[in-house]
Amino acid sequence: MSAAVVLVTGASRGLGREVARRLVDEGFTVLAGVRDPAGMKPLPGVEVLCLDVADPASITAAATTVQERFGRLDVLVNNAAILLDDRSDVLSLDGDLLQRTLETNCLGPLRLAQAFAPMMARGARIVNVSSGGGQLSVPSTWSPAYCISKTALNALTVQLAEALKPRGIAVNAVCPGWVRTDMGGPEAPRSLQQGADSILWLVLKANPGLTGGFWRDGAQIPW
């Protein structure tokens, strides 16, 4: 049987790149979704797929390519995201900034799921990389646009999980913890490897029947 095909979005750097690298080692056919293939630092063993998750036409084109090349997708890791409002507060939050953040962090994963679900079979998985910042059970005032977008991604995860349950496709959200990447910054306590481990648990280790949950380091966390 040919290797399972996984698409990791936002794989040019940070956690997406590390997850893609590790999945090559696990024997997957890895498609690294990046919006600037020419600027991508080489990553041995991955196939680079041009993909801007904020651009519906780009998602459609990527899905057509995957359908024509492989005829299927086994795992979709919705990892790409932006954090634009590190210093804003909700009372002065700019509506355009919120809209841009939602386009990438929530509408992107929705459109990707819509485009790729038709080529997913029983046992396939969708992993939405969310954040503790999206937990309604842990209120905060930090980065409202980003946090609202991750709460919306969590809600999307539950909707997709219910919709795809009859087809045996698992959909879960995962928090990698606070990780030293461009987004997390140098002060973050977690290494790239630790953050990627949290995401990879859902790809490699979680029982395929687990769906509709929010996870960190293989343990369920509250919404």
Please identify every residue annotated as catalytic.
146
Q: Which of 188, 204, 210, 221 binds ligand NAP (CB under 6 A)?
A: 188
Q: Is 14 in the site for ligand NAP (CB under 6 A)?
A: yes
DSSP string, 138-195: S---S-HHHHHHHHHHHHHHHHHHHHHGGGT-EEEEE---SBSSTTT-TT-SB-HHHH
80 binds ligand NAP (CB under 6 A): yes
Which 3 state secondary structure label does DSSP give 67?
Answer: helix
Position 201 contacts ligand NAP (CB under 6 A): no
Paired sense of beta strands 170-174 and 47-50, if any: unpaired
Contacts for 59 with CB less than 8 Å, ≥ 6 apart: 51, 53, 108, 111, 112, 115
Q: Could you tell me which stretch among 14-22, 85-93, 136-144, 206-214 binds ligand NAP (CB under 6 A)?
A: 14-22
| Minimum CB distance to ligand NAP smaller for 120 or for 150 | 150
Q: Which of 29, 79, 101, 151 binds ligand NAP (CB under 6 A)?
A: 79
Rounded alpha-carbon distances, angstroms, from residue 25 to 19, 29, 44, 51:
10, 10, 10, 23
Assess 109 for contact with ligand NAP (CB under 6 A). Answer: no
Of 5, 4, 7, 2, residue with least CA distance to 127: 7
Give the tokens for residue 67: 């359908």
- Pairwise CA distance, residues 86 & 183, whole Å: 10
**Binding segment for ligand NAP among 12-20, 91-99, 161-169, 208-216 (CB under 6 A)?**
12-20
Residue at shortest CB range from ligand NAP: 14
Among 29, 88, 101, 131, binds ligand NAP (CB under 6 A): 131
Q: Which of 22, 60, 20, 55 minimizes the C-alpha distance to 36?
A: 55
**Residue among 71 and 193 whose Cβ is closer to ligand NAP:** 193
Does 148 bind ligand NAP (CB under 6 A)? Our answer is no
- How many angstroms separate the CA atoms of 129 and 202, rounded? 10
96 binds ligand NAP (CB under 6 A): no
Residue 86 touching ligand NAP (CB under 6 A):
no
Footprint of ligand NAP on this chain (CB under 6 A)?
A: 9-10, 12-16, 35-36, 51-54, 79-82, 104, 129, 131, 175-176, 178-179, 181-184, 188
